[in-house]
Amino acid sequence: MESDPPEVALDRLGAREILGLTLGLDVARDLHPLAVRDRFQDAWAEFLTDVVADRPAVVLVEDIHWAETPLLDLLEYVLGSAQGPLLVIATARPELLQRRPGWGARAGGELLELDPLSAQDSDRMLDEMLAGGLPAELSELVVERAEGNPFFVEELLGMLIDRDILVRENGDWVLHELPGEFSVPDSVHAVLAARIDLLGAAEKAALQAAAVIGRVFWTGPIYELVEAKPDLRVLEDRDFVRRRAGSSMAGEREYVIKHALTREVAYASLPRARRARIHAAFAAWLERREPGRDDLASLLAHHYAEAVRPEDADLAWAAEQRELERLRGTALLWLERAAELALRRYELEDAIALLQRAISLQPDEEAQARVWRTIGKANALKFDGEAFWTAMQNSLKVCSNKVTCADTYSELAFQTALRSSMWAKRPDRELVAGWIEQALELTDPAGESRAKALIAHSYWERNTPVAAREASELAERSGDVDLRSYAWGARGAVAFGERDFESALTWSRRRLNVIDEISDPDHVADIYESAIPSFCANAQFSEARRLAAEHDAIVEPLSDHHRLHGVAVLLEVEEVCGGWNRILELAERTEAAVEANLTTPCVRNARALLVTALAAACTGDDETARHYERRAEEVENEGYGLVLAAPRTWIALLRGEMDEVDRLEPINLGRIQHEYDLPATAARLDALAALKKRSLVEREVPPLLKPGLYLEPFALRALGAVRDDDLLIEQAVGRFAAMGLEWHAEQSRKLLART
């Protein structure tokens, strides 16, 4: 019951404690929000599987056009995962499909659309509700105004009954003479407003108070909030409310307002000052009855925040400034607590909305800085880079405390460097470097924020072994496994940038060894993504393929952005290996993943399509290749030319477009700045060889001639091509073949044949 304390609910849930999130209970503990969401969805699917193991079950969820995204995701997940005879019926207005096209299709659902009643059906409805019907002219007017809405028809009849125009006499309905001023309202809202105005003062006040509480309400608060003693049976008789057989609140009668529109109109009929006071009074009643209940946090946050809305506060609390300040403080307390709980449940939109409301009520700038930073973190979790930046910079604008500012600069730099490809326009290098510098200047020399700033510095610059080492030492002392993992990632990134691929692989393996200790699936995905290029660089392709498949399974239940990464990483391994047929097998899935992720900037939107275009070009299908190239150009982010260099260079080489090859952005073969630079370096070696730029090849290639590494045969082939040395090219063929890179070996044989 709503009145049961959390201990009772948790005891009854037993091993299914995670389902307490449904009730607003804080059972997430230290789990990452994404991990919480996964376990929560799995628990619902398992629970319903158990329910239907004995007999079929029907789950009805009404009005899901008002549902937040997490509920829609949960319903689809349950339908796809629960086993057994389960029927889910969900009702919604058509706008649901505007907001979420194709909702339910993923779970194999069936869409049943209800058209408005025809005029003939509306007449039938009137006849069946009223034996004998209405006079023809009134019936026509009712049908015309109702426009096929059966609720409108019901409410129009209710208005006639309320006004004693339509009365029951001797078992029949009798229509009395219509008053001279009578007219049929032209909307269902107008009908409801007219019906509410016909109520007695006490009953009207009770319905308005109920509308403030919600669709479901109880007698206790109504009798406390309304000075007069209303008769709720009047509201029942007039079909505004219905009493429920049981109650979710111990010791209280429970009612439900019949229709959401009835509540909407009753709520709107309240003067704003009176409305604010009822919100405050109900929140106080709830806190007195159920003190200290986190599961009521969002409800209390809503009512207290409505009580102190800035546009109504001066009117509602004109002579009670101290009470207004007290209520505002209470609203802020519950808003932040409710947001914290929503973040733990991965209800990011809810959390951000609650925090933004807190900002609108918070007069203290230092507190604003802290709330803005939390908003920023929530946006980073949903890969909304621009919103993340905006929130963090808003935090810095109002921040005066050195520690708070240091933490904000550190988080800003850390998330930007880690998620460097999620921006519509590539971040300005100097701007991010400035954030890192500020963070390093302000942070505690031994603190976590400094470690994060050093990690950001290492990922951003890739030539910072001292910074990476210091970050690693700080992380080791902290004992935080997440921080240690990211610090090891920084060590690996720096080693990769210096072409010390063996060391990079060692750091990657160390991160893979602690995966079981990390609850954040986004972090786990990052460990896989940064490890796979190290395995490829060391020519360990079977391991790279295995890790890519595991990564794909990890990200599948997360978000559209993660799912794009899942397929993109599979493609990137095959791009390195020359597995063009496998890439084409994934083409349909790739297109779908890109389309699903278009609202989230990501360089992989364009890159995945370009790799698919490259695969088509390599298999001789130039028409398909050009189709994917055009789509890639349409979704390309600004400033990521180097990231897209490899597939574009190889496509141009295949077509013999040497001017295009020469125009493409060059890459410094002496330093690798990013994991994408591994195939880009290979492609550029091929380009320099094709362009006969011998001096560049002779200068840049020697450091790449390390046996057993991916780039060695490309370097041998480039040297052989510019020197016209068949022996070097034959060595390249052998190295490619030994690595299992047969397509590249065959290309080298063709080069030999031409020479």
pLDDT, one tens digit per residue, over 468-504 is: 999 999 999 998 999 999 999 999 999 998 889 999 9
Work out the mean pLDDT of the chain and round it to a whole number.
Answer: 88
Q: 164-203 pLDDT, tens per residue?
A: 877 777 766 677 777 777 777 778 888 899 899 999 999 9
Helices (H), ranges, 135-256: 136-146, 150-162, 188-197, 201-213, 219-225, 232-237
**Strand pairing partners for 175?**
166
Average pLDDT over residues 331-337: 94
Closest CA to 573 of 547, 609, 610: 547
Report the C-alpha gap between 651 and 617 in whole angstroms: 7
CA angle 387, 390, 396 (to 5 degrees): 145
Compare 667 and 730 and report the one with higher pLDDT.
Answer: 730
Which value, to the nearest 10 degrees, does the dihedral of the CA atoms of residues 245, 62, 193, 210 take? 50
Q: Is residue 420 classed as helix, strand or coil in its secondary structure?
A: coil
**Ranges of H-type helices in 462-559:** 465-478, 481-497, 501-512, 521-537, 541-555
Residues in the chain: 755
Closest CA to 496 of 481, 482, 508: 508
Q: How many CB atoms lie within 10 A of CB 122?
A: 23
Least confident of 22-36, 168-182, 199-213, 662-676: 662-676
Residue 156's nearest CA partner among 179, 124, 186 is 186
Residue 565 CA to residue 525 CA, distance in Å, equals 9
Residue 333 CB neighbours (<10 A): 15
CA distance 485 to 455: 10
Q: Percentage of the chain with pLDDT > 70?
A: 96
Give the pLDDT band of residue 670 (cuts 50, 70, 90). Answer: very low
What pLDDT shows up at residue 421? 74
Instruction: Give the model's pLDDT for residue 428.
Output: 82
CA distance 713 to 82: 50
Q: How far apart are CA 685 and CA 165, in angstroms?
A: 90
Least confident of 426-440, 499-513, 566-580: 426-440
